[in-house]
Structure 1
C-alpha cells in the first residue's frame, strides 16, 4: 500500500498558501492512489524543541543502554522517524521565512537527521539511509526568487532542502514554488486566481504519471 507523508510548516491555516498547495497535492495523490494511506504531520502543533546536550547524548547511547529519561528525550524523534520510514513519498508545504525555511521545519529536520537512523558513517563516509523515497516541496514566498530574478541569490530554501534530503538519501526531489504571494496581502489578486496556475502545475504531475 503506497503511503504519503504530508508535512506542513506554515503558522497560518485557511490563509496559508503552502497549506493550500499541499491540500491540492493530497487530493490528487488520493485519486491516483485510491488504496493509499496518508500520514499528516503539522509541525506547528507538534511541540518541537531545540536539540540539547541530553538529546545528543541519548542519540549516541546504544538503544539497549538508554535510560528512561533518554528514551523520553527521543520519544518524539522516534515517532517522526517512524512516519518517515513508513512513507514511500513525502510532500512538504514550505513558506519562505526570511529567505529560509520556517523555524519549525528546521527543528523537525534536527529531530529526524539521526546517525544510524537516517544516515550513517559506517564506512567512514556519509551515507543516506532513506533510500527509494520521493519528496515534493511546495514552497510559498512573498517575493519572487526564481533563478531568472534579481533576488535569486536570496532563495536559501531550495538549496538547503535539496542538500539535507540528499544527505539523508532522498535524491528524487522536485520543487514547485508559488512566488509573489505578497500580492494576496496587498489585495492585488484573489486567492483562487493566485493559486490556480500552481494547482494546475500540481495536477499535471499526476497526469504525466
Structure 2
C-alpha cells in the first residue's frame, strides 16, 4: 500500500519553496490540468482522497482490461478473412469506450471531493509536466512493480503478434490495414514493456551500488 501511495504522491505533488505544487485531476482525464499550491496539511488531506482504498483491486481491473483487449482483438480480427476498418474501429470503441467513461467518472468524483480543499488553495503557474511525473514515478515505483508491468505489456504485445500471424495465413501483411494497425499496437506495447524493463534494470543497478 505504501508503495502505491508513494507513486500517487510523486505523480501529483512537487516540492517547491512555498510548499507543494498539486496537479489537480482533469475532468476529461487528458489535457491541461490546473495546479495549486498546497501546505503540508492540505497535502495530507488531498492524499486521503486521491489514494484508493483498494489499490490491488484497481490494478487487477487494469490487468483484466488489457487481457480482454488482446483477446477481443484476436477474436474480432483472426476469425474474419476481410474485416473492414469499421470493424476494427468498432472493436476499439467497444473496449476502450467504457474504460474512458469510467476514468472520467472517477476523475469527476475526485474533483467533487477535492472541491472544499481546493477552495482554500491558491492557483499557481508552476506546473508538473509529464516529464516530471515520469521521472518521479521512476524513482518511487518498486522493482517488482516495474517487472510486473513490463511482463504484462510484453504479454499484451505478444497477443497482438499472435493476431498478425493468424491473419497472415489469409491476408498478405502489407496489403492488410488491420494487420498493420495491430502491428502498430504491438510495437507500442513492446516499447512500453522495454521502458519498464529498462527502469527495473537501472533500479537494480542502483540498489547494488
Taking structure 2 as the reference length, the TM-score comes to: 0.23
Q: Specify which structure has the bigger relative contact order, considering alpha-carbon pairs within 8 angstroms and separated by 6 or more residues.
A: 2
Q: Which has the larger radius of gyration?
A: 2
- Greater share of strand residues, 1 or 2? 1
- Greater share of helix residues, 1 or 2? 2
Taking structure 1 as the reference length, the TM-score comes to: 0.23
